[in-house]
Structure 1
Amino acid sequence: MSSQTPAASQDFVDAPTHPETRGIEHVAPSERHGRARDLFGVWAAPNVSVLNLTIGATMILLGLEIWQAVAVIVAANLLWVLPGLIAIAGPAAGTSGSVISRALYGVIGNKVVVAFTGWFISAVFLALNWLASSFMGADLLARWGFADPVLGPVVVTLVVSAITVLVAVYGHALIIRSYTAISIGLLVIFLAVTAFALPTVDWGYRAPEALSGVPLWSAVTIGFTIIASTPLSYINSPDIARYLPRETKPSHIIAATALGGALPSIFFTVVGALIVTGLDGAAVDAGIESAILGLLPSWLGPLLVLGVMVNTVALNGMTTYTSSMALQSVGVPIRRIPSAIVVGVIGTALTLYLVMSTSLLDAVNLMLQFLVVVSGPAIAVFATDIVLRRNRYDAIDLFDEARGGRYWYTAGWSIPGMAAVLVGGVAAAVCLSTDVWTGPISEAMGWIDLSVPAGIIVSALVYLGLSRTVLGRFDETPAEPGTRAGRVAPAATAAPAPPAASPAAPTTEPAA
């Protein structure tokens, strides 16, 4: 058991004007606040995105008809229910998902899984979204006379990443308070873009070569995988919901999270699919983002670029915020704010590499497909565990890292959890179809990509079967109000609690 105890409530100021010093520490009942509906804006802001326009264009470039593309987009976005489901674990345990997952993988096994999934997924999404804003920002700078093909994207990336890290430093309260307003502002900008772009749509569009049989299913499943990778990647949803009162209805949390992510994603991905039907081959080759700018009046182009940057900050700010807690949960002795800065530096470095080595469309498609090998099994195991335990997690034992603790399992490893995520990952990989890697099953089926259903179904079944035989019944004791048998849910093990601060003064952290 960690020897540290939680800091008093006054040590943490969850206000949008104060940097948030809390990391993975348990959120006491007295510090819970907010409503489930606040989560809608949090998940809508990142998904009013130019990345969705790019992904939508990909559906048509794969050879799909408009109606087929729309069907794939809607079907893949139904998977937003999974981030909604796992979000309910946050209020139940009162801590981050990277700590709750100790119940899935064991104390030591969780460090390995979180170090890989938390950092890999976070770094990829930071880079993808910064990449989108850097290309569009550089294109706008080129139209204004600053045409350096390398320096332009680099400057935009550095500015956007710095603002992103600042959002992550201020943390939960700033995200909750500002993202609804950001969603509304972005919606206005992207609807204006849609209004000017739709007149160019070829509503009678037909694919140059109509697909049928195996080639059609190959295009459909590859498109499904690309779109599904986004909701499957949000295994951090419990981190955003953990401040909600424990009595908040799970159905409300699921609905606010799933609808906040799915509705704007469906709409603007469909818009991207429509826009590309009116573009010629040269415009597509120059880049979808550049082609969209070319369709807009001079006054709207800068607003779109500004919207892209704000959207990027919204998405990556939340990602950086949650991944900063992942670093703490694996045992690195670092406070949350320096951890957020480290995450930002890594994401910036990867973005700068991609800026100088690839196109946006190539990077998006390839990385999103590979993500499902990791994210699909991980979110499926988490969701299955929530159902098995009936969303009952003991915050006291989640912080007990001693041998013999409830989540120590076998030498610190949970056999069901580790086996499920590994077998599910292998199942996804052998069913994956990309330009770089095609699994043997996918190749045998004619490049049909079943990586998403294979990863989710196999990992869930393995976890369910082994949990029933190895772990026995799931009889968790709820951790409300944060104490049991005279014990108190500990603070983060990564660093001592900060000194108490006056409620009237901002709480800050020392520099890294």
Structure 2
Amino acid sequence: MALLEASGPANVTEGVPPARQTMPVDRVFWSHFSPNLGPGGWVSGVLLVHLGLGPLTGIAAILVGNILGALPVALAAVIGPRTGLTQMEASRRVLGDRGLRLPSLLNWIYCVGWDAVNNVPAAAALGSLLLLFGVPMPFWAALGVLALCQMAASIYGHDLVQGLQKFLGGPLLLAFIGIGVLSVARGGFGANYAPQASWPNIVLATAVIASFNLSWVSYSSDYTRYLPASTPPAHIIRLALAGLLCSSAPFQILGLLTAGSLGEGSPLGVIDALRDQAGWLGWAVLAVIALSSITGNSVNDNTAAYSLISAGLRLPRTIAALLTAALGYVLAVAGAGSYADFYARYLVLTMYWIAPWSALVLADWYLRPPASLHTDARADRAWTLGASIFVVTTIATIALFASSEVYTGPVARLLGGADIGYYVGFASAFLAYAWLAPRHDPSLSVTP
């Protein structure tokens, strides 16, 4: 039976005591595998075709993008068992008490947005499924049913959330493999499709794929911090990488291969096409898509609760999770009409702050390792060098490299619209911190 996680803010701001670090190591794989099992990966693959990529360039973008996005997540997963802290709290050492608040708040907003991204197609699938059985349910009600299930899991805490990943991951994988085989057999690129990928679109496609996995970097230690501190780092990295790559790349390749037969490339369009292709098994497609949102959004709500507390609001974890689920519900209802545009832009926009933040966390951990194995990694100051690098790098990469309908930076214009700000942001933050920060500062690590 799953254990109820402590609700007080101290459960987030203080490290897990060694006596409670008893989580089985196989959950590292499932925690990085199951949340990716949903229509999101499929839609990412379809998006590559709409950007003009063909089978070869599309598969290359998927492989390169997945490796670029997954490696930082796997490296960050090592921090959890060694500190006992959530991913955001573990970055307090490099950012300081006040410096941590901005990325924590951004991560909370980010999780709320992902709630909406995942729930809109899932609620549409649940509504269509019930209608097949003669039970009409409006969109807002179907969304409410899913939100309540996800909220209940996140309120219970990490043990139930990770249990869901393990026990739902296998059935979801088998179901989606069946859907994929059926879709490939009945469709494909199509005889009339002529790929015409431009350089900016290849860069954008790779960034979209990379962001699909990199978006988990702010979650990773949340679901490894209950591992024993003595767990070999290499084992954690292998399991996290396997979980991410085995769930994301195959689904994106299936999306790429079936895009020619799907028509509209939006998530809702993909779901409708998959249901139609499944014929009398269409109900199973709808059921799997609706169920998959529970694994993804229970993780979102739980991590969001952690992040809101790290942002400075010392609420009980249960209240923070409830608030996140409620706002995610409101955003999904309000934004359902413009969902396709929101989805396409959301993955890329989040990279602007996640890339430099994750670079700082990794640089601090691997270049300036803490003095003790199990440390609370506290900063002894409110604002640090790392916080300044984070703010400057994030603003500079947006100003110079952003490429969107709202704003295009001067460097992006010179590159014909190609947006490489995410890569530059990661590299710049990492190198700046490696160059400017001292290699070891004993005042930043405390032996419990």
TM-score surpassing 0.5? yes
Residue of structure 1 in register with 2:149 after alignment: 163
Matching of residues 293-308 of structure 1 within 5 Å: 293-298=275-280, 300-308=281-289
What is the deviation of 1:145? 6.3
* Matching residue within 218, 226, 232 for 2:214: 232
* Matching residue within 84, 88, 100 for 2:74: 84
Q: 1:55, 1:227 within 8 Å by CA — same for their partners in 2?
A: yes
Residue of structure 1 in register with 2:188 after alignment: 202
What is the deviation of 1:64? 0.7
What is the deviation of 1:191? 1.1
Residue of structure 2 in register with 1:221 after alignment: 203
What is the deviation of 1:137? 2.8
Letter aligned with residue 338 of structure 2: T
Residue of structure 1 in register with 2:353 after alignment: 374
Residue of structure 2 in register with 1:418 after alignment: 388
Which region of structure 1 is more displaced relative to structure 2, 194-203 or 46-55? Answer: 194-203
* Matching residue within 69, 77, 93 for 1:103: 93
Taking a change above 3 Å as real, the CA distance of residues 297 and 17 of structure 1, as seen in their structure-2 partners, is farther
Aligned positions, number: 443
Residue of structure 1 in register with 2:321 after alignment: 340
Paired with 2:212 and 2:240, the residues of 1 have a C-alpha distance of 13
Residue of structure 1 in register with 2:33 after alignment: 44
Paired with 1:173 and 1:305, the residues of 2 have a C-alpha distance of 27
| Structure with the largest fraction of helix | 2
Per-residue displacement from partner, 1:432-490 (whole Å, max 9, x unpaired)?
3233333221122111121221121111122222213xxx634478666xx2xxxxxxx
* Matching residue within 154, 158, 166 for 1:172: 158
Paired with 2:331 and 2:314, the residues of 1 have a C-alpha distance of 24
SS in 2 for 1:114: helix
Paired with 2:171 and 2:327, the residues of 1 have a C-alpha distance of 29
Paired with 1:163 and 1:18, the residues of 2 have a C-alpha distance of 16
Determine if the alignment matches structure 1 residue 473 to structure 2 residue 440: yes
Paired with 2:34 and 2:160, the residues of 1 have a C-alpha distance of 13
Q: 1:93, 1:393 within 8 Å by CA — same for their partners in 2?
A: no
SS in 1 for 2:138: helix
Letter aligned with residue 44 of structure 1: F
Paired with 2:395 and 2:29, the residues of 1 have a C-alpha distance of 30
Paired with 2:75 and 2:419, the residues of 1 have a C-alpha distance of 25
SS in 1 for 2:188: coil
Residue of structure 2 in register with 1:244 after alignment: 227
Per-residue displacement from partner, 1:6-45 (whole Å, max 9, x unpaired)?
xxxxxxxxx5153543631321111111233321011111
What is the deviation of 1:163? 0.5
Taking a change above 3 Å as real, the CA distance of residues 441 and 271 of structure 1, as seen in their structure-2 partners, is same
Residue of structure 2 in register with 1:121 after alignment: 110
What is the deviation of 1:345? 1.1
Paired with 2:376 and 2:427, the residues of 1 have a C-alpha distance of 29
Q: 2:380, 2:443 within 8 Å by CA — same for their partners in 1?
A: no
**Percent of counterpart pairs with the same letter?**
21
Letter aligned with residue 291 of structure 1: A
Q: Please identify the structure whose Cα radius of gyration is greater.
A: 1
When the two chains are superposed, the root-mean-square deviation of aligned CA atoms in Å is 2.5
Matching of residues 452-471 of structure 1 within 5 Å: 452-468=422-438
Superposition TM-score, scaled by structure 1 size:
0.80
Paired with 1:381 and 1:35, the residues of 2 have a C-alpha distance of 29
Q: 1:394, 1:477 within 8 Å by CA — same for their partners in 2?
A: no
Matching of residues 364-403 of structure 1 within 5 Å: 364-390=343-369, 398=377
What is the deviation of 1:408? 3.2
Letter aligned with residue 67 of structure 1: L
SS in 2 for 1:297: helix
Q: 2:306, 2:317 within 8 Å by CA — same for their partners in 1?
A: yes
Q: 1:169, 1:321 within 8 Å by CA — same for their partners in 2?
A: yes
Paired with 1:65 and 1:228, the residues of 2 have a C-alpha distance of 18
What is the deviation of 1:69? 0.8
SS in 2 for 1:231: helix
SS in 1 for 2:53: coil
Paired with 1:288 and 1:445, the residues of 2 have a C-alpha distance of 32
Unpaired stretches in structure 2, ≥5 consecutive residues: none
SS in 2 for 1:430: helix
Paired with 2:345 and 2:266, the residues of 1 have a C-alpha distance of 18
